[in-house]
Amino acid sequence: MRPPTEWPSADLLAERASRTPEREALVAADTGAAWTYRELHAAVADLADRLDPPLGDGRLGVLSPTRPAVAQLLFAALRLRAPLVPLNVRNATEDLADQAARADLDALVCTTGTRAMAEGIAPDGCTAVSVDDEDGPAWVDESGGSDESDALPASPTLGDAPDPDAEALLVFTSGTTGRPKGVRLTTRNLVASATASAFRLGVDRDDRWLVPLPTYHVGGLAPLVRSTLYGTITVLGPGGGFDAETTAEHLGDHRCTCVSLVPTMLDRLLGFGWRPDDRLRVVLLGGAPASQDLLDRCAERGVPAWPTYGMSEASSQVTTAPPETAREHPGTVGQPLVNVTLRVLDADGEPCDPGERGELVADGPQVTHGYLDEEHTDAAFSELGLHTGDVGYRDADGRLWVTGRVDDLLVSGGENVDPNRVARVLRECPGVTDVAVVGLDDPEWGDRVAALVVGECSPATFDDYAREHLADHERPRTVAFADALPRTASGTVDRDAVRARLRGPRE
């Protein structure tokens, strides 16, 4: 008798196409081009054949905005057992070149629009090839499936099954403070995340998941894996940047039931006047904390917002709160997913009591085993799992509140300052809509508390409010105003960019 094989033991797309070949798999939101699982599988098989000769033992990079080509490349790379490295098209050329070199890319797939950048960042020995050059090879078919009834390509045999613990994705973190880390994810990580997400969010046979997030982040790639595992549909939004009106149209026109957003996107959708229709059942809200005001507005309009705490290192979600939980317990991001072990540890590494703040440590089959650089792995992992660097607390029922970062704590004039608490207080100042608080190096104070403020509020009003509601050592000594806080593509406040805006003390 042949021993049982471990899941995932086969090519995910091939397995799905063999079971539901005529079900719709992928839709391009802007053009309406669509592929069934049979057609997507055939397109990926052809692409894998084309990619195989240029690929050696290195990794396959992709420098492209969100588009169907990225989905096809993801599954082709999985089929070829070549780790895919999605690169952020908005990053500076110098940063991209550093990441491409660190990733040891063997080939870099780009578009006509990103080809010049790709050729500039490709390390020695790396081939840059465009997916849509008119005079080049037809690497990817973006026109949608055909009506031809070709035989379904054969699924890989068990002898060809991929190693579920081999590296499948290398995703660089946003790098809001310092050099981005390369997160190594396996097929097992991705499948475990999709499985746990199904337990929390549920799955409907007719689900259509809209992805307006960039596919160079886990939040934009995870729905592709989920939908393929479930046999549902991914609707990929255009990659030219988020537009509230366009996203509202896509949600309605494509009859979407689920969507992934960051809080700033959802805020702009609500500001545009969007209201969901009855089909929409999940707005997975991550990438940054969602304010209570935003969640209150969602409740008023019937928006099914599911606040989540996630990270690239966990292949997406760690905890997620259903809408009713988010309403009943303001600020929570819910309980851990079914296969996640989440601990809150104090400075001595001991478990915290309910309500006591400490560092969050995550473990489970969807959590990466390490980073691209060994020193990052050694610093972040223990026998208990990944030490996330995030700070939070859980209540007696296991619900989580995330309050900041371990390295966020400032010491100003010998006094500890929690910049996240200071920001929460200052957001209540009349006329202030958002604020970021950071520390600037100061020879006298150590950390000089500084605030970047968004809103219609005079400097005098802001300073008066801070004097009344904060301790003297917590009061920002440097204040600047902006139209919006600088954020990464995933919605997180870019603290390095905030500091850059604030440098040059102003009382």
Q: Taking the CA of residue 367 as centre, how many other CA atoms within 13 Å lie in the half-sphere pointing to its CB?
A: 21
C-alpha 89 chain-centroid distance: 15
Q: Strand, coil or helix: what is 17? A: helix
Q: What is the pLDDT of residue 130?
A: 81
CA distances (Å), 495 to each of 331, 392, 407, 486, in order? 22, 19, 12, 8
Angle between helix 459-469 and 419-426 (nearest 10): 120
The reported pLDDT for the residue numbered 343 is 98
Q: Is residue 89 part of a domain?
A: yes
In sequence order, the β-bridge partners of residue 236 are 28, 211
Q: Which amino acid is at 200?
A: R
Cβ pair 139, 109 in contact under 8 A:
yes
Tokens of 177: 């403070």
Q: What is the predicted pLDDT for the residue at 137?
A: 40
How many other CB atoms are there within 10 angstroms of residue 314's CB atom? 29
- CA dist., res. 488 & res. 220, Å (int): 14
What is the distance between the alpha carbons of residues 302 and 296, in angstroms, rounded to a whole number? 10
Query: pTM of whole model > 0.95?
Result: no
Residue/partner pairs of 419-428 with CB below 8 Å, 24 or more apart: 419/449, 422/449, 422/451, 422/470, 422/474, 422/476, 423/451, 425/469, 425/470, 426/451, 426/453, 426/462, 426/465, 426/466, 426/469, 426/470, 426/476, 427/291, 428/469
Residue 378 domain flag? no
User: Residue 383 forms beta bridges with which residues?
Assistant: none
Low-confidence ranges of the chain (pLDDT < 70): 1-7, 9, 53-54, 56, 132-142, 146-162, 175-178, 489-490, 504-507
> CA 407, CA 39: separation in Å to the nearest integer?
48
Q: Is 193 part of a structural domain of the chain?
A: no
Residue 207 and residue 258 in contact, taking contact as beta carbons nearer than 8 Å: yes
Other Cβ atoms closer than 10 A to 241: 12
Q: What is the pLDDT of residue 420?
A: 84
**310, β-bridge pairs:** 317
Measure the CA–CA gap between 457 and 476, rounded to whole angstroms. 15
Q: Do strands 341-345 and 335-336 pair parallel, antiparallel, or not at all (unpaired)?
A: unpaired
CATH number of residue 129's parent domain = 3.40.50.980
pLDDT at 443: 80
Domain-located, residue 401:
no
Of 142, 160, 177, which residue constitutes the final position of a domain?
142
Name the β-bridge partners of 447.
Answer: 441
345 assigned to some structural domain: no
Q: Which residues contact 339 (CB under 8 A, 6 or more apart)?
A: 192, 195, 196, 364, 365, 366
Would 102 be classed as within a structural domain?
yes
* Closest to 310 measured CA to CA, from 491, 98, 473, 486: 491
Tens-digit pLDDT profile for residues 212-232 = 999 999 999 999 999 999 999
Q: Which domain holds residue 427?
A: 409-502
Res 149: pLDDT = 45
Whole-number Å distance between alpha carbons of 227 and 221: 10
Cis preceding linkage at 443, omega within 30: no
pLDDT recorded at residue 277: 93
Query: What tens digit of pLDDT does each residue of 85-104 get?
Result: 999 998 889 999 999 999 99
CA distance 190 to 314: 9
Single out the residue in 89, 118, 142 at which a domain terminates.
142
Residue 450's domain is classified under what CATH number? 3.30.300.30
Residues facing residue 85 across a β-bridge: 61
**Quick check: is 74 in a domain?**
yes
Radius of gyration of the chain (CA): 23
pLDDT at 30: 92
Residue 58 lies in a domain: yes
Q: Which of 119, 142, 165 is the last residue of a domain?
A: 142
CA pseudo-torsion sign 267, 268, 269, 272: positive
- How many domains, the chain? 2
